[in-house]
């Protein structure tokens, strides 16, 4: 392998500094006593105390987790079904429309998807009386629609590159298609299902636009809450929250890294 060039190292340093310094400063200033974001006054954990006393925020966290787990699960199921039908079923009627619909949410600006789903809710409510109000249910539907496109992308990539002779062997030995799917295909694509579920979960936890269009007064998600407080200005409580999120993510990734290294051995 060629030696790392000087310019390559410099560009990497610039890039990673750009990616990580803002987050680093965010975490450092979450321990700042002052409210001002640029002046270090002294060490304090008061913003963390304020954060954990904020009941509105804790309720929003709970709502967000509920919506994220529901929408991730349904997106995983629907996305997998879509991937199986696109990759394994050959031609069926309406296949072109189907493939267009499943990948369209990926390229559609979020404001448009949000607007479209809200109009649909309003129209359905007038026609059949459901959904009677906007809340967790409607946000879950929106997140599922967006996330199933991502799950589909991941699962279909996996379905396309694994060894099909296993499925063929099972079928030749007389297994019914449904048995082949559950005994052979599903275990083989399980890692990509997990990956899809996690991605869907993260997308749902992160979404402001769809949730703002589709949530009602009773269902404030965490991003909506953060977004409305950001519109008012800077508050170190958000720094504390950011530090906690970054901490959880880094711990998760480190554990995953260790698991991976162990499996490799």
Partner 1 sequence: MGRRGVFVLAGREWRGACNMISDGFLNYSWQQGQEKLNTLYTKGKNSQRKLVVFLPYLWLFLFFLIPFFLILKISFSSSLIGMPPFSSIFEWVGDNLLQIRFNFQNYLSLIQDSFYREAFTSSLKIAGSSTLCCLILGYMMAYGISRANPKWRTVLLLLVVLPFWTSFLIRVYAWMTLLSTQGLINSFLMKIGLINFPLQLLNNSYAVCIGIVYCYLPFMVLPVYTTLEKLDPVYVEAAFDLGCTPWRTFWKVTVSLSKPGIIAGCILVFIPAIGEFVIPEILGGPDTIMIGRALWWEFFNNRDWPLACALAVAMVLLFVAPIMFFQRQQALALERGE
Q: At its nearest, how many Å lie between partner 1 and the CB of residue 177?
A: 3
What is the C-alpha R_g of the chain?
23
- In the three-class reduction of DSSP (H, G, I as helix; E, B as strand; rest coil), residue 218 is classed as coil
Contact region with partner 1 (CB under 8 A), list: 48-56, 65-73, 128-136, 198-206: 198-206
Read off the DSSP letter of residue 248.
H
Stretch 48-87 residues interacting with partner 1 (CB under 8 A) = 77-79, 81-82, 84-85, 87
Cα separations (Å) of 195 from 33, 112, 160, 192?
40, 27, 16, 5
Q: How far is the CB of 55 from partner 1 (least distance, A)?
A: 20
Among 42, 126, 127, 130, binds partner 1 (CB under 8 A): 126
**Position 130 contacts partner 1 (CB under 8 A):** no
User: How far apart, in Å, do the first and last CA atoms of the chain sit?
Assistant: 24
8 near partner 1 (CB under 8 A): yes
Answer whether 19's CB lies under 8 Å from 184's CB.
no
Q: Among 205, 225, 172, 212, which Cα is nearest to 58's? A: 225
- Stretch near partner 1 under the rule CB under 8 A, chosen from 45-53, 55-63, 65-73, 219-227: 219-227
The nearer residue to partner 1, 173 or 178, going by C-beta atoms, is 178
Rule CB under 8 A: choose which of 42, 94, 129, 217 binds partner 1. 94
Give yes or no for residue 1 binding partner 1 (CB under 8 A): yes
Enumerate residues 21-40 that contact partner 1 by CB under 8 A: 22-23, 25-26, 29, 36-39
Please select the residue that binds partner 1; options are 46, 49, 250, 251, rule is CB under 8 A. Answer: 250
The interface with partner 1 within residues 139-178 (CB under 8 A) comprises 141-142, 144-145, 148, 153-154, 156-158, 161, 164, 167-168, 171, 176-178
Please, what sign has the CA dihedral across residues 121, 125, 130, 132?
A: positive
Go through 40-50 and write b for each residue having 16 or more CB atoms within 10 A of its CB, e for each that does not: eeeeeeebbee
CA angle 26, 236, 56 (to 5 degrees): 120
Asked whether position 182 contacts partner 1 by CB under 8 A, the answer is: no
Pick from 44, 54, 66, 99 the residue near partner 1 by CB under 8 A. 99
Half-sphere exposure of 67 (CA within 13 A, CB side): 34
């Amino acid at each position: 392998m060629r030696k790392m060039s000087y310019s390559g190292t410099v560009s990497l340093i610039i890039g990673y500094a750009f990616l990580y310094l803002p987050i680093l400063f965010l975490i450092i200033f979450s321990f700042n006593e002052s409210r001002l974001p640029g002046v270090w006054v002294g060490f304090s954990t008061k913003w963390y105390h304020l954060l954990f006393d904020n009941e509105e925020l804790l309720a929003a966290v709970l709502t967000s987790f509920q919506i994220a787990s529901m929408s991730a699960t349904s997106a995983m199921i629907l996305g997998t079904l879509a991937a199986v039908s696109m990759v394994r079923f050959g031609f069926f009627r309406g296949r072109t429309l189907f493939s267009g619909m499943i990948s369209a949410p990926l390229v559609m600006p979020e404001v448009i998807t949000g607007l479209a789903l809200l109009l649909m809710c309003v129209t359905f409510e007038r026609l059949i009386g459901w959904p009677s109000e906007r809340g967790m249910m409607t946000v879950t539907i929106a997140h599922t629609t967006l996330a199933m496109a991502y799950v589909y992308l991941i699962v279909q990539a996996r379905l396309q590159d694994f060894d099909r002779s296993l499925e063929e062997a099972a079928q030749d030995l007389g297994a019914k298609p449904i048995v082949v799917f559950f005994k052979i295909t599903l275990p083989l694509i399980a890692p990509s299902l997990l990956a899809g579920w996690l991605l869907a979960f993260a997308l749902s936890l992160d979404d402001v636009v769809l949730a703002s269009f589709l949530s009602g007064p009773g269902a404030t998600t965490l991003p909506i809450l953060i977004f409305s407080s950001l519109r008012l200005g800077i508050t170190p409580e958000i720094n504390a929250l950011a530090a906690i999120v970054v901490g959880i993510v880094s711990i998760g990734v480190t554990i995953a890294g260790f698991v991976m290294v162990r499996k490799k051995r």
